[in-house]
Amino acid sequence: MIKQKAWHKVSTIIISAMIGLSPLIPTSNIAAAAEPTVTLTNQEILTSGAVLKSYVWKSMRSNKEISTNAKVIEVDLTNPYVKVDVMSGTGNQFTKKQSVLGMATETKAVAGVNGDFYNTQAEGVPMGPEIANGQLMATPPYLPGFYSFAIDKNNVPIVDLFTFEGSVTAKDGAKFALGGINKTYYWFEPGGEHSMIDAMFMYTNTWGQVDRSNDGETVPTEVLVQNGIVKQIADNGIIDMIAPKDGYILRASGKAADFVRQHMKVGEPLKYDYQILPQDPSKTYDAKNFKMMIGGHTILVDGGQPAEFSREVDSLCCTRSRTAIGYSQDQKTAYIITADNAGDSKGLTMKELQQFMIKVGVWKGLNLDGGGSTQMVARPLGETAPVLVNTTETGIQRKVVNGVGVFSLAPQGAVKDLVIQAPSVLFLNEQAALSFKAYDEYYNPIVDTGKAAATAQWSVDPAFGSFKDNVFTPTKTGTVKVTAASGKGSQTAEVEVVGRNQIAGLKIDAEDLALTEGETYKLPVIATTRSGKTREVPPELIQWEVKGMKADVQNGLMKVQSLTGVTQAQLIARYDGFSTMVTIPVGQDKVWYDLDNYAVMTLSSTKPEAVSASVYIKPDASNNKYLELNYDFTKGTGTKWAYAQMDTGIQIDGEPQFIKMKVNGDESLNALKTEIKDNSGKIYYVELAPSLNWKGWKLVSADLSGLNLKYPISVKSVYVVDDEIGQDERAAKGKIDIDDITFTYKGQVTAPAKNSVGLTINKTAVTVNGKSMTLEQAPVIVSGNTLIPIRFVTDALGGEVRWDDKERKVTVIRGSKMIELWVDSPELVATGQRVTAEVAPTIMNNLTVVPLRILSENLGWKVTWDEKTKQITLQ
């Protein structure tokens, strides 16, 4: 669906990433500017005071130009109708991680990104401080160079280093320092001391689980305090509850636990005092007046220049997805930034991120959690809910601990405009339900548009179609204007209506299908119009023909009924008389390892030695056996591997082209690979899944055909790998299940018969494989093009010819090729693509003759021409 949006596309602006140049330079000066460059491509108003801008970064890496897609939310901090705040987990609680989209939906944010770093092996709480809606949620860690972003009561943004001071005071006046509020365990730098040893921490209702920093290093003593009174003390134990809203729980160990035993008693009062302070005592920030605060990591930009990294960034190396936040020199604009590392978007290094931030206007800014955590969501104009607007690195929306949200504070305003939601292309006789969204003067959605849509007046020129309520049925091709009027406003959108004559190509998206009996497959049919637009044809408009196998196709879904004796299948899809065909070779699957009928000896192994792993054969509820691979990557350094090691003495029959297996994933985000050993002894490391980002059983596969294997082959192992880069983003412990390791032996498309036909211009004599025969119509030359009798020649060369008398259309199928021609029309369709011949097919002596060149080019015929004898040989 393409929505008519009331956001304007900006003229393309090239921004030099050369430090020290003006942020914006004219396009004409690009040649003089140093690489890399940043191009502003478009912008969209999200709400009053917030704009989403899209950029493309281009630079040279290893002598190749790369590009990276980046998005920036600019927030006007002087606008009273918008605010930037922190979103926390689920239900405003830590330990209950949630995707950015989930948090934004829950908190009704207009937009948002992921926030602070967190220990993926711990409970799921931010490493840095957090203030949300003016309430302290977590305190800063005692870590050097750990910057935070904040906004004070006057909407002035701040990027700086902060620390924490706090203590509790018992009834007898004794005091003990607090290590922090709602913190998990970490290690002090540079000494590496454990944060929980001899320390006392406070946990509020924001901490959403009973276990409080279960670090495995210290034994907790916990104290429940409500309304300033000690209610319970668990000596060398935990209090089995989440802290109440009117109180808190202290976790003490070592010397702190001794303090509890010596100075606290149930029923006695207990006081606390704490504050967040700038590390620089000359700064006068009052954190009690901060509206929001979120921790990050290293500073990136200071004074509009790249800052020296305040923390080590070796673990953030390479080109990754990035998230960052900062503000402008006049402190009136906040910049919330993401850059993608997925597909054709090649991510940014930390230094490139610095350059990018400067060139989009950041004066001072810091790094937020990136990599697989990077997510940006935004609410489209007129919509009530946000959507993901970037492409995540792992293909999933990772659950994170917090995020930065953009919120509208505007009242409901007067209607400003409507946004009609309609496809940019409609097909003849399609029944398309159109809708619209309204937005007000503050660019916020009108929430009662559902009711308005029900009573809206939809209109269109009757020559092009009709409406029934909001359902439009086009009956004529061309550019159609549809109008919606609700009494609150009106809007018109242009829609292209297409039929056969407007289609340039039709394609069945099924080339990579591996057919299996009893399985159901989706068969999308994609149309490309003459104007270059593409859209899937609604399944109900497609007529299907299946050749070569037993299958049923209904509403775009094909169920394979039988493949017995089938070597190839052909699917023909037709829309409005325009056809396309795909030929699918039917391969053979052989299950090699299923543990119920056949398996090989399997053992566990690891690299490095500190990693642990184990394998077990387990039965499911129906007693089907599968292999369980457990792994623990918590020890050791560098990249880590856990193997299900198999007996390589057992070789695989034949020359399989694919390997596939069922895998029960664990959402660890680690990679899954297999080692294949070929007959020369060479080991191939084949990726089955770049990220174990799912739970439940799933079929994974890998193509072996391009590896140049020396057959026969054997499977050395299936293994989980945790790459050194981005290791903190993946689970260090987990287990996967493996079943039905299967090899697919690729089928072959049947080659057409190798016959030979000899023709002579203006003569009816013909030879087929050397045998003399007579034509009813001789080949002729018209306007420099040779026309031949199509049915005779196709039959002789081993093809199929069909005649449609109503349309005066000839269909020729030969091998994997199909061509359709209309008498007296130079336009034809060759395997789904519109082609124009120099002369049109015609009728001679009641026989259809067609141009030879167009047939040979599109059916794969080999043509030999003898100028002296005027003889043509077709093969």
Which domains, and CATH codes, for the chain?
2-85+296-408 (no CATH), 128-288 (no CATH), 415-498 (2.60.40.1080), 501-586 (2.60.40.1080), 590-745 (2.60.120.260), 757-874 (3.30.457.10)
CB atoms within 10 A of CB 161: 17
Q: Can you tell me the distance from the alpha carbon of 9 to that of 80, in angstroms, rounded to the nearest whole number? A: 26
The DSSP secondary structure of 460-524, one letter per residue, reads: E-TTTEEEETTEEEE-S-EEEEEEEE-SS-EEEEEEEEE-GGGEEEEEES-TT----TT-EEE--
Q: Quick check: 352 and 36 in contact, CB under 8 A?
A: yes
Q: Coil, strand or helix: which one is 258?
A: helix
pLDDT at site 488: 61
Q: Is the dihedral of CA 795, 800, 804, 809 positive or negative?
A: negative
Task: Give residue 64's Cα distance to chain centre.
Answer: 25
Paired strand residues for 525: 508
What is the pLDDT, as a whole number, of residue 24? Answer: 37
Q: Are 335 and 365 a contacting pair, CB within 8 Å?
A: yes
- Please say whether the beta carbons of 490 and 459 come within 8 A: no
Buried-state track 441-469, b at ≥16 Cβ within 10 A, e below 16: ebbbbbeebeebbeebebebeeebbebee
SS3 31: helix
Query: What is the per-residue pLDDT for 18?
Result: 31
Cβ neighbours of residue 816 under 8 Å, at least 6 residues apart?
A: 570, 581, 583, 749, 831
Contacts 24+ apart (CB under 8 A), 687-691: 688/659, 688/661, 688/663, 688/718, 689/663, 689/665, 690/394, 691/372, 691/394, 691/395, 691/396
DSSP structure string for 234-252: ETTS--SSPPPTTEEEEEE
Q: For residue 403, list its beta bridge partners.
A: 87, 114
For position 85, what pLDDT does the model report?
98
Among 287, 333, 280, which residue's Cα sits nearest to residue 157?
Answer: 333
Name which of 686, 615, 600 is nearest 647 in CA terms.
600
Dihedral pair phi/psi, residue 351, rounded to 5°: -70, -35
Return the closest-CA partner of residue 135 out of 244, 242, 289, 297.
289
| Count of positions (residues) in the chain | 875
SS3 154: coil
pLDDT of 183: 96
How many other β-carbons are positioned within 10 Å of the β-carbon of residue 858? Answer: 20
For the chain, helix, strand, coil in percent to 5 are 10, 50, 45
Residue 524: alpha-carbon gap to chain centroid? 20
C-alpha–C-alpha distance, residues 825 and 845, integer Å: 18
For 668, the token pair is: 């660890």
Residue for token pair 């191009």: 39
Contact 567, 747 (CB under 8 A): yes
CA distances from 498 to 476, 481, 555, 832 (A): 8, 14, 20, 16
What's residue 455's pLDDT? Answer: 62
Q: Is the peptide bond before 608 cis (omega within 30 degrees of 0)?
A: yes
Radius of gyration of the chain (CA): 34
Place of tokens 């040649």: 31
Per residue, the 3-state secondary structure of 525-581, as one string, reads EEEEECCCCEEECCHHHCEEEEECCEEEEECCEEEEEECCCCCEEEEEEEECCEEEE
Q: Mapping DSSP to helix (H, G, I), strand (E, B) and coil, where does residue 791 land?
A: helix
For residue 216, with 0-12 CB atoms within 10 Å meaning exposed, 13-18 middle and 19 or more buried, which class applies? exposed
Instruction: Say what the pLDDT of residue 859 is.
Output: 80
SS (H, E, C) 420-465: EEECCEEECCCCEECEEEEEECCCCECCCHHHHHHHCEEEECCCCE
Low-confidence ranges of the chain (pLDDT < 50): 1-33, 450-451, 454
Token digits of residue 310: 């305040």
Give the CA distances from residue 135 to residues 125, 284, 545, 705, in Å, rounded to whole numbers and listed in that order: 16, 20, 65, 59
